[in-house]
Amino acid sequence: MTTETTSAAPTPPVLSVAMVTLGCARNEVDSEELAGRLEADGFLLVDDPAMADTVVVNTCGFVEAAKKDSVDTLLQAADLKASAHQGGRAQAVVAVGCLAERYGKDLAASLPEADAVLGFDDYPDIAARLRSIVAGEVHHPHTPQDRRLLLPISPVDRAASTAAVPGHGDVADVTTVGLGGPATGPRAVRRRLDAGPMAALKLASGCDRRCSFCAIPAFRGSFVSRRPSDVISEARWLAEQGAREVFLVSENSTSYGKDLGDLRLLETLLPELTAIDGIDRVRVSYLQPAETRPGLVEAIATTPGVAAYFDLSFQHASATVLRRMRRFGDTESFLGLLAQVRSYAPEAGVRSNVIVGFPGETEDDLETLCDFLVAARMDVTGVFGYSDEDGTEAASYDDKLDEDEVRARVEHVSGLVEELNAQRAEERIGERVLVLVESLEEDADGVVAEGRGAHQGPEVDGTTTVTDLPAGTRVGDLVAAEVVATDGVDLVAEALPVERSAR
């Protein structure tokens, strides 16, 4: 009698991966989706790229400076691989994100230092892709295409599409440690990479607008809203992971719900999000002025738990320039919108971006913009000089200004904005602010907190330093304070006594 023995298939080695994220908060969400998929498939996530078998760089492809930063980061990761014999581990460097999606095989050909360039369609199978790349298999990058063509023209027909939409995740019952243990309901595939008290949350992806200077819709695709139930489920999960503020991100939040049959869906979603246990503040990003309806202004400005914060993409104030940009509005309508905001919330935060040096911009157009900025009294304004972007309508325009003139106009407007933003900060002296504590440190006067008031969005809108903190203050607390000084757009505040903080 003979006995047959069978041996189990060898367990594949555990591979470590480091995610390096560039660009906006939308990219941060995409990276956390990729991290969730990888961890669920057995990858070990590490913070230090030098200690990772695979370095995944989530690139930005928005403007020239961001593209350069992405390429430089990929080259730095490739250097780690080249020096792996000196103690590092990197076996593969992989590009994902907007730059990879936008340029595909062209990026791969121009950057042989990267082992692979993956597009958005690779995201659902990211773990299998990385394993094959580490094993030495050659990945053939995609030929870039206009991702708007992947979805139906009619927004209401898009829900049935199977096209990959980064950051929306597969909503399913997931039971991995990276997602907080056994699922109790629908969970988005995501793994937090930052333990801070603020977390970005995808509201939608893509854009249906056709701004003549912007290439984003071509590589991000048409506008697709996430279902409210998915947004709420992920917000609950984020609260369980320690998030106290959720930052709703998209390419155009004012369009939320139009493809779900209800353009006022955001107004009804906001109070549902603020009712989630553990979520103390909800913030909305990227509002398109031409679509910012009165009901949405009221909802953001007056709903308890929602930051009175208006991220309005004005881009310019001259009606002539705006028409060439394929946008709508003018100084009068924009100031009317701001007056409406401040009628509900006089202390509301307002930020925007503007483009100067756009083809055909005259001295009078520039003066119109500057006059608007003076009258608008915004907290923060980003100033960008125009440059041609591949595949955009504006790249074909005549009447382009030379680079020196664009640079001079950027310097002029930036100087004006710096002064105006500092003045607006000074207007807040004596104001009560509710600060989300993001870090604590000790100095000669005791423990000091750094965080953000309701008018300050993450990363780009300045911070508030709070002194005289109540005993036991922790990261993630909301502390009421009074502004006593400023440093540019940054504020210095003193914590109010607890009895006054509670009001």
Beta-sheet strands, E only, within 195-321: 198-202, 204-205, 224-225, 245-249, 281-284, 309-311
Query: What residues have CB less than 8 Å from 426, skipping those under 6 apart?
Result: 486
- Token digits of residue 476: 């993630």
- Give the CA diameter of the chain: 99
Task: Give the three-class secondary structure for 100.
Answer: helix
The number of C-alpha atoms within 13 Å of 350 and in the hemisphere containing its C-beta is: 27
Q: What is the structure's pLDDT at 375?
A: 98
DSSP, collapsed to helix, strand or coil, labels residue 467 as strand
**What secondary structure does DSSP assign to 145-203, as a single string?**
--GGGGS-SSGGGGGG-----TTS---B----GGGTSS-SS-B-S---S--SSEEEEE-
Separation CA 361–CA 182 (nearest Å): 57
Question: 3-state class of 486 per DSSP?
Answer: strand
**Two structure tokens written together for 468:** 């005289």
SS3 448: strand
HSE, side-chain direction, 13 A CA sphere, residue 338: 24
CB distance 290 to 326 below 8 Å: no
Two tokens, residue 442:
């000790």
What pLDDT was estimated at residue 38?
A: 95
**Tally of residues, the chain:** 503
53, HSE (Cβ side, Cα atoms, 13 Å):
15
Residue whose pair of structure tokens reads 């100067």 in the numeric block: 356
CA distance 410 to 49: 36
412: number of Cβ within 10 Å: 14
> How far is the C-alpha of 297 from the C-alpha of 300, rounded, in Å?
5
> With contact defined as beta carbons under 8 Å apart, do 382 and 428 qualify?
no
Pick left, alpha or beta for residue 354 (phi over 0 → left; psi -120 to 50 → alpha; otherwise beta). beta
The three-state DSSP-derived secondary structure of 346-413 is CCCEEEEEEEECCCCCCHHHHHHHHHHHHHHCCCEEEEEECCCCCCCHHHHCCCCCCHHHHHHHHHHH
Annotated ligand binding at 370? The verdict is no
21, containing H or E segment: strand 16-21
- Kindly state the tokens that stand for 189: 């595939």
Distance CA 491, CA 426 (A): 8
How do strand 464-467 and strand 281-284 relate by DSSP bridges?
unpaired
pLDDT value at position 354? Answer: 98
Q: 379: which 2 tokens?
A: 């907290």
- Report the distance separating Cα 164 and Cα 123, nearest Å: 8
d(CA 100, CA 74): 11
Domains of the chain in sequence order: 16-147 (3.40.50.12160), 187-427 (3.80.30.20), 431-495 (2.40.50.140)
Whether 341 and 310 have beta carbons less than 8 Å apart is answered as yes
- At residue 294, the pLDDT reads 97
pLDDT of residue 173: 35
pLDDT of residue 184: 43
Check: CB of residue 239 under 8 Å from CB of residue 279: yes
Buried b (16+ CB within 10 A) or exposed e, 430-452: eebbbbbbbebeeeeeeebbbbb
Whole-angstrom CA distances from 58 to 69, 70, 374 are: 11, 8, 37
pLDDT value of residue 316: 98
**Rounded to whole angstroms, how far apart are CA atoms 118 and 57?**
10
Q: Rounded CA gap, 172 and 174, in Å?
A: 6
Lookup: tokens for 356: 């100067």
- Looking at residue 186, what is its pLDDT? 41
Rounded to whole angstroms, how far apart are CA atoms 338 and 376? Answer: 7
Residue 322 DSSP SS3: helix
Give, for all 503 residues of the chain, the pLDDT tens digit.
445 555 555 556 789 999 999 989 999 999 999 999 999 999 999 999 988 999 999 999 877 787 888 888 888 888 877 675 445 566 899 999 999 999 999 999 999 999 999 999 999 999 999 999 998 899 999 999 988 888 888 887 777 777 788 878 654 433 333 444 334 444 448 999 998 999 999 999 999 999 999 999 999 999 999 999 999 999 999 999 999 999 999 999 999 999 999 999 999 999 999 999 999 999 999 999 999 999 999 999 999 999 999 999 999 999 999 999 999 999 999 999 999 999 999 999 999 999 999 999 999 999 999 999 999 999 999 999 999 999 999 999 999 999 999 999 999 999 999 999 999 999 999 999 999 999 999 877 788 999 999 999 998 899 999 999 998 999 999 999 999 999 999 999 999 986 444 33
Task: At 222, list the tokens.
Answer: 């048409």
